[in-house]
């Protein structure tokens, strides 16, 4: 088998706040994404999932660890060539389509901006032609090129954001909560669009979200993040049918099902990180199966395998996990 498109090895992203306090947003995570696959990253806010995406695309300089993209090391200082590679072949789609599109620019300007840098030889007509093509690809009419972002609905704006990414002909798209700001009926449209585009163009994708049910639809593999660590990683069906880590269990139990009689009786599970005495920095990845790993120390692993979650999960509503980690 060929080398994965993206390899992340022990990535750390720390932010120094002051002399005594450093936020360890991402604290040593490793994963690989194969060509044409979708990797889903889930977790609550503050778990480091967005930071991971931003470190890969080099909006931050990683504190430690290595990232390989298409065989090139992109984690250290970048030379002109790798910088160009990162800036063109990896593209990002952001959460809030209104905040990520310049309100004073037309769709043509927004979508074609990257082209001017990548293909400065193109004439104005050729650029326009390319923009129209991409807009059609994401299901927007080519007549929209002279409109401004505020003239579109939320779902359409997210399509513009996607068009801006696609025009660079990327190999990897990092979608950072692309549907959280959209209406329910529109979310499904955008997820289907992402899935179709990915299939047609063979693009690799990292899909970041806190909504496990949508992640399941779009991902091949899923990594569950909490406090800067990947606590469980595996093929999507294994994560859903055979979850082992208590945090994954609590995430899964939090998804409300549209079945009133069943849902009314069900209690969601709260995850007790501090009371449960779990320390992620001590844990190592244990194999549940060849394609499914969980972060734990040996005793925890044995306990969870035996189905004993007595000290880490609770049905009480009187818990509010303090998610910010102090270090």
Partner 1 sequence: MERKRILSIRDLEISFQTTDALIRAIRGVRLDLYQGETVAIVGESGSGKSVTVKAVMGILSSNGSVDNGSITYTDPDTGEVFPIVEMSQKDIRSKISGQRIAMIFQDPMTSLDPTMTIGKQIMEGMRYHHQVPKKEAQRRAQELLDLVGIDNSKRRMKQYPNQLSGGMRQRVVIAIALACDPQVLICDEPTTALDVTVQSKILELIQSIQKEKNLSVIYITHDLGVVAKVVDYVAVMYAGRIIEKGSVEEVFYDPRHPYTWGLLSSIPDLNLDEEELYSIPGNPINLALPFKGDPFAPRNKYALNIDFEEEPPLFHAGGKHRVASWLLDPRAPKVDRPASLERRLKEMKEEVKRHE
Q: Which residues bind partner 1 (CB under 8 A)?
A: 44-45, 153, 155-156, 183-189, 191-192, 195, 210-214, 216-217, 240, 250-251, 253-268, 270-271, 317-324
8 Cβ partners below 8 Å, 6+ apart? Answer: 29, 30, 31, 32, 52, 56, 65, 66, 67
CB 159, min distance to partner 1, A = 11
Nearer to partner 1, 14 or 216 (CB): 216
* Distance of alpha carbon 162 from alpha carbon 142, whole angstroms: 15
CA distances from 272 to 242, 311, 319 (A): 20, 7, 8
Nearer to partner 1, 262 or 290 (CB): 262
CB 305, min distance to partner 1, A = 23
CB 286, min distance to partner 1, A = 23
CB 312, min distance to partner 1, A = 13
132 Cβ partners below 8 Å, 6+ apart? Answer: 142, 145
CB 94, min distance to partner 1, A = 18
Phi, psi angle pair for 208, to nearest 5°:
-100, 130
Nearer to partner 1, 257 or 310 (CB): 257
Nearer to partner 1, 29 or 42 (CB): 42
130 Cβ partners below 8 Å, 6+ apart? Answer: 112, 115, 122, 167
Minimal CA–CA distance to 41: which of 203, 271, 229? 229
CB 177, min distance to partner 1, A = 12
* Distance of alpha carbon 99 from alpha carbon 115, whole angstroms: 21
Nearer to partner 1, 1 or 184 (CB): 184
Number of H helices, E strands in the chain: 11, 14
Nearer to partner 1, 102 or 323 (CB): 323
């Amino acid at each position: 088998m060929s080398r994965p498109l993206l390899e992340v090895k022990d990535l750390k992203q720390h932010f120094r706040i002051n002399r005594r306090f450093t936020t360890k947003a991402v604290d040593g995570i490793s994963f690989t994404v194969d060509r044409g696959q979708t990797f889903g990253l889930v977790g609550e806010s503050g778990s480091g999932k967005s930071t991971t995406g931003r470190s890969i695309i080099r909006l931050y300089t990683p504190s430690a660890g290595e990232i390989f993209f298409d065989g090139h090391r992109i984690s250290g200082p970048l030379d002109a060539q790798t910088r160009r590679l990162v800036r063109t072949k990896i593209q990002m789609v952001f959460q809030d389509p209104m905040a990520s599109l310049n309100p004073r620019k037309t769709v043509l300007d927004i979508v074609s901006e990257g082209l001017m840098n990548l293909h400065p030889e193109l004439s104005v007509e050729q650029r326009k032609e390319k923009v129209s093509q991409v807009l059609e690809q994401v299901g927007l009419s080519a007549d929209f090129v002279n409109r401004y972002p505020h003239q579109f609905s939320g779902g359409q704006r997210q399509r513009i954001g996607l068009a801006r990414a696609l025009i660079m002909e990327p190999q990897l798209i990092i979608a950072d909560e692309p549907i959280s700001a959209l209406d329910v009926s529109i979310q499904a449209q955008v997820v289907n669009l992402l899935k179709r585009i990915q299939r047609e163009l063979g693009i690799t994708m990292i899909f970041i979200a806190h909504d496990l049910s949508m992640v399941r639809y779009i991902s091949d593999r899923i990594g569950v993040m909490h406090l800067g660590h990947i606590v469980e990683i595996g093929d999507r069906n294994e994560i859903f049918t055979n979850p082992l880590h208590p945090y994954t269990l609590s995430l899964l139990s939090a998804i409300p099902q549209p079945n009133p009689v069943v849902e009314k009786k069900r209690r969601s599970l709260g995850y007790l990180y501090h009371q449960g005495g779990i320390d992620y920095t001590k844990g190592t990845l244990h194999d549940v199966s060849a394609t499914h790993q969980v972060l734990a120390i040996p005793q925890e692993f044995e306990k969870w395998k035996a189905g004993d979650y007595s000290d880490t999960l609770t049905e009480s509503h009187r818990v509010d996990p303090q998610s910010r980690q102090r270090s």
